[in-house]
Amino acid sequence: MSRRALLVLPALAAGGAGLGFFAMLRGMGTGGYDPRGVPSALLGKAPPEFQLPPLEGAGLPGLALSDLRAPGRPVLVNFFASWCVPCVIEHPQLMRLSRDGVPVFGVGYKDQPADSRRFLERHGNPYARLGVDLPGRAAIDWGLYGVPETYLIDRGGIIRWRWAGPMTEDTLRAELVPLLRRHA
């Protein structure tokens, strides 16, 4: 190796690493990169087998895998809880999606039915179906590690996208709406 290469290669490597770190820091600022984020193991697969009872008194059907098999159009499955503060931040986005005609299915994660009902009365109901997962077992089959989490299931019933944490207006604009369009 020539002397010049010995000088240039480390400089190039350091420059590349610097650019990478800069991109990571920028992503952390804009929310595009989350160092604690865990990619879902279910992307590109069908959702797991599950069957959840409806929320009593909400007048909505429950949720099961059969509702997600080849739904014919993209649908969202949103895990939430009344005790989850980021879920309150996310709620207006779910309301908007539901108003725009996107089917949003909900799962109440470790949430007492009475608390879920109060949450929906207070903030509005975006859900077309709502399952109650009090023990949180179905959530583990989905690979959930916190609430809120949102999954996009395409028209063929395959999970295409998972968002861990609250969806903001930016999330909708930058990620979800283009995906909905692509999978419509």
Partner 1 sequence: MIRVLALLLALAGPAFGAVGDPALQLPDAAQEERARGIGRELRCLVCQNQSIEDSDADLARDLRRIVREQVSAGRSDAEVVGFVHRRYGDFVLLRPRFSAATALLWATPAVALLAGGLRRRAPRRRPAASAASVPGALTEAERARLARLEGGAGGDRAA
The binding site for partner 1 (CB under 8 A) comprises 1, 3, 36, 38-42, 48, 110, 136-137, 140-143, 145-146
Q: Which is nearer to partner 1, 60 or 158 (CB)?
A: 158
- In 3D, which of 128, 130, 162 has the Cα closest to residue 143? 162
Provide, rounded to whole angstroms, the least separation between the CB of residue 3 and partner 1.
Answer: 7
CB of 33 to partner 1, least distance (A): 15
| Contact between residue 102 and residue 179 where contact means Cβ atoms under 8 Å apart | no
Return the SS3 of 64: strand
Residue whose CB is less far from partner 1, 33 or 145: 145
**For partner 1, the closer CB: 103 or 131:** 131
> What gap in Å lies between CA 85 and CA 80, rounded to an integer?
10
Pairwise CA distance, residues 34 & 55, whole Å: 33
Distance, CA of 102 to CA of 132 (rounded, Å): 21
To the nearest whole angstrom, how small is the minimum distance from the Cβ of residue 72 to partner 1?
Answer: 27
Which region holds residue 35: left if phi is over 0, alpha if psi is between -120 and 50, else beta? alpha
In the complex with partner 1, the residue whose CB is nearer, 91 or 162, is 162
Q: Give whichever of 13 and 174 is closer to partner 1, judged by the CB atom.
A: 13
Smallest distance, partner 1 to C-beta of residue 57, A: 26
The residue type of 162 is R
Least spacing, CB of residue 108 vs partner 1, in Å: 15
Helix (DSSP H) and strand (DSSP E) numbers for the chain:
6, 7
